Amino acid sequence: MSVLVNKNSRVIVQGFTGQEGTFHATQMIEYGTNVVGGVTPGKGGQMHLERPVFNTVEDAVQKANADVSIIFVPPAFAADAILEAADAGIKVIVCITEGIPTRDMIKVNEFLKDRDCRLIGPNCPGVITPGEAKVGIMPGFVFNAGTVGIVSKSGTLTYEAADQVCRTGLGISSAIGIGGDPIIGTTTKEAVELFMNDPQTKGIVMIGEIGGGMEAEAARWIKEHGTKPVVGFIAGQTAPPGRRMGHAGAIVGGSEDTAIAKMKIMRECGIQVAESPAVIGEMMAKALKK
C-alpha cells in the first residue's frame, strides 16, 4: 500500500517544457517515477525528455492513460491548469505553483467539490512514496521506505522530519506536503485520514505552523478516530502575534492560531508534541515500540 502515488501511477507534467517543469521532471524520471508525458499547449506532438508532449490534459488522459498530474505553471494560469486536470479526469493533482491568487483558489475549490479527484497544494513540495514515485520537488535521497507517514505544511520541515525518522532506522510510507497557502486542496485532517486508513503506515508525523485551524481540526479528529500514534510539531513558536512567517497562511488571526494554543490542543487530543524538529524521529521510534 501507499498513499496517493506509487510505482503504477501514470504521471504527466503540466508546464512540461518550461524551465521548472523540465528540471523537476528530469529529477522525477531519474528517481524512477512513471512519467508518461507532459502538457504544453501548442507543442503537442513533440518529444521532450524522451516523453510525448500533449496540447491538453485530456489528450494525455486519452493517449497515455494519465491519472496523476503535477503542475509547474505560472501563478496567473495555475488555477486554470488545475481545473483542466480535474475536468479531464485526473485523480491526483499536485500543484507546486506559489502565489496563486486567493480568489482563484476559491473558484478551484468550489469546482473540485463535484469532481472525483484530490488536489495537493498549491505552494507545496508534492508527494513521495519512497522507492516508488516522487511527484514533487523534494530531495528523494532523504526518504527511505518504511512505515511512518508524514503530513506537513512546510516543505523544508517535511525533509527534516523524514531525515530524523530515517536516522532512527525507521522509514517513510509516504510523505504529503499539503502547502502553506490560506486555501489549499487537501487539509491536514484529510491527509491524516489517508494515513490512518493505510495498512502500511504504523505511525504519523503531523507538522503544522501558526495560522489557521487545520491542526486543531486534525487533532480533534484524531482524538475521536485515531488508531495509530501521532507525533506533532508546530513551527513558529517564537513568532510575535500578527506577524506572518513565511507562508501566506501562517498568520495568527484567532486564539487557536498561535503555536502554544495548537500544541495545547494537540496534547489534549493525545498527540505527542515535539518541542523541536530534532526529536521527531526519536519520539516516533519510542511511540512505535509501545
C-alpha 234/C-alpha 276 separation (Å) is: 9
C-alpha 58/C-alpha 85 separation (Å) is: 8
C-alpha 289/C-alpha 141 separation (Å) is: 26
Where does 11-120 sit in CATH, by number?
Answer: 3.40.50.720
In the chain, which residues fall in CATH 3.40.50.261?
A: 138-289
Architecture of the domain spanning 138-289: 3-Layer(aba) Sandwich (3.40)
Of these residues, 24, 48, 225, 247, which one is catalytic?
Answer: 247
Q: Is the distance from CB of 243 to CB of 219 less than 8 angstroms? A: no
User: Quick check: is 247 catalytic?
Assistant: yes
The pLDDT, as a whole number, for residue 177 is: 97
Q: Is the distance from CB of 1 to CB of 199 less than 8 angstroms? A: yes
The pLDDT, as a whole number, for residue 211 is: 84
The pLDDT, as a whole number, for residue 257 is: 74
Local mean pLDDT, 10-residue blocks, the chain (290 residues): 91 98 98 98 98 98 98 98 98 97 96 96 97 98 98 95 97 96 95 98 96 93 98 82 54 67 96 96 95
The pLDDT, as a whole number, for residue 240 is: 62
Cα–Cα distances in angstroms (integers) from residue 234 to residues 68, 163, 202, 276, in the given order: 30, 17, 21, 9
Cis omega before residue 122 (within 30°)?
yes
- pTM exceeding 0.75: yes
CA–chain centroid gap for 281, Å, is 20
C-alpha 108/C-alpha 171 separation (Å) is: 34
The pLDDT, as a whole number, for residue 247 is: 56
In the chain, which residues fall in CATH 3.40.50.720?
A: 11-120
